[in-house]
């Protein structure tokens, strides 16, 4: 799916109004992962929906005392506004967009981690053949677990289930709104205070930070993720952390 096909098929409007088929939606969301231009167009359509909701019902277009509006779109602007009104009826909003971005980003990181695991397995030498018992075939890498940490209170601890054959797991946490920090200091510890991971990470997207952890360093039990935000000037600020549990 390319830009010309998206523009000719009006995929952005069809996407935000939930008129794409399942196969087209999957293909379009895969395109959004690596195309900030199309993602910005989707955000613009959703922002137009928010603005129309704040203005209330539109006035009759016959006569008006207002001057002409300056739009950066062509003659299809009224059709786009009508489509955005349908988006409002379906309950779309900025929260859903952020969840979509986090899901797309987490899936991309998980996919990259799975590919790296597959390449690592491919580089390993095959064991020598035994005279009696056949050598078992190497299992292909399984799905990479993804745990999205959201700031909630009074809820059960989120659970991360470790993969049976090892490999990476992916953790994701929300950024502050609006974003204020250029980097994040991450410290992952067990419940007894043993440090498992310490790193300085750049933001993965405008709404989330996503990173991978080797499942081999995680044992079943409770964990705490401590966070600090670092500004462009080098100043650090303590941020709310997250707790979760790991099971097999």
* Confidence tier at 68 by pLDDT (50, 70, 90): very low
Share of the chain above pLDDT 70, in %: 68
- Antiparallel, parallel or unpaired: β 159-161 and 236-247: parallel
Neighbour count for residue 217 (Cβ, 10 Å) = 10
Tell me the per-residue pLDDT of 138-170, one tens digit each, with 9 for 90 and over. 555 667 889 898 876 666 889 999 988 778 999
Tell me the per-residue pLDDT of 186-224, one tens digit each, with 9 for 90 and over. 999 999 999 999 999 999 988 899 999 998 899 999 999
Q: Is there a contact between 78 and 58 (Cβ–Cβ < 8 Å)?
A: no
Higher pLDDT among residues 86 and 24, named by residue: 24
SS3 readout for 62-122: CCCCCCCCCCCCCCCHHHHHHHHHHHHHCCCCHHHHHHHHHHHHHHHHHHHHHHHHHHHHH
pLDDT the model gives residue 213: 92
pLDDT at residue 229 tops 90: yes
Tell me the per-residue pLDDT of 83-100, one tens digit each, with 9 for 90 and over. 444 443 444 445 556 667
Neighbour count for residue 62 (Cβ, 10 Å) = 5
Domain with CATH 2.60.40.2550 in the chain: 140-247
As a whole number of angstroms, the distance between CA 176 and CA 242 comes to 14
Higher pLDDT among residues 18 and 221, named by residue: 221
pLDDT the model gives residue 210: 93
Specify the range with the lowest mean pLDDT, choosing from 80-84, 199-203, 235-239. Answer: 80-84
pLDDT at residue 240 tops 80: yes
- Tell me the CATH number for domain 140-247: 2.60.40.2550
Q: Is 81 exposed, middle or buried (CB count within 10 Å of its CB: 0-12, 13-18, 19+)?
A: middle
DSSP reduced 3-state for 5: helix
* Confidence tier at 69 by pLDDT (50, 70, 90): very low
């Amino acid at each position: 799916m390319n830009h010309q096909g998206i523009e000719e098929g009006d995929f952005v409007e069809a996407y935000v109004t939930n008129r794409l088929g399942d196969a087209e939606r999957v293909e379009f969301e895969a395109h959004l992962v690596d195309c900030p231009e199309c993602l910005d167009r989707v955000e613009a359509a959703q922002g137009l929906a928010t603005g129309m909701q704040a203005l209330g019902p539109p006035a009759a277009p016959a006569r008006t005392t207002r001057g002409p509006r300056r739009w950066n779109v062509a003659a299809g602007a009224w059709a786009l506004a009508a489509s955005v009104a349908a988006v409002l009826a379906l309950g779309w909003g900025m929260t859903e967009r952020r969840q979509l971005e986090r899901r797309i980003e987490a899936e991309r990181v998980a996919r990259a981690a799975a590919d790296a695991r597959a390449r690592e397995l491919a580089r390993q030498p095959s064991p020598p053949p035994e005279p009696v018992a056949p050598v078992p075939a190497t299992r292909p890498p399984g799905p990479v677990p993804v745990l999205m940490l959201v700031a909630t209170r009074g809820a059960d601890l989120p659970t991360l289930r470790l993969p049976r054959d090892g490999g990476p797991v992916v953790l994701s946490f929300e950024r502050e709104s609006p974003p204020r920090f250029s980097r994040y200091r991450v410290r992952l510890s067990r419940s007894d205070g043993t440090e498992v991971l310490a790193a300085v990470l750049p933001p993965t997207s405008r709404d989330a930070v996503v990173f991978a952890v080797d499942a081999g360093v995680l044992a079943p039990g409770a964990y705490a993720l401590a966070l600090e935000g670092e500004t462009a000037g080098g100043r650090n600020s303590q941020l709310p952390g997250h707790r979760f549990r790991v099971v097999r």
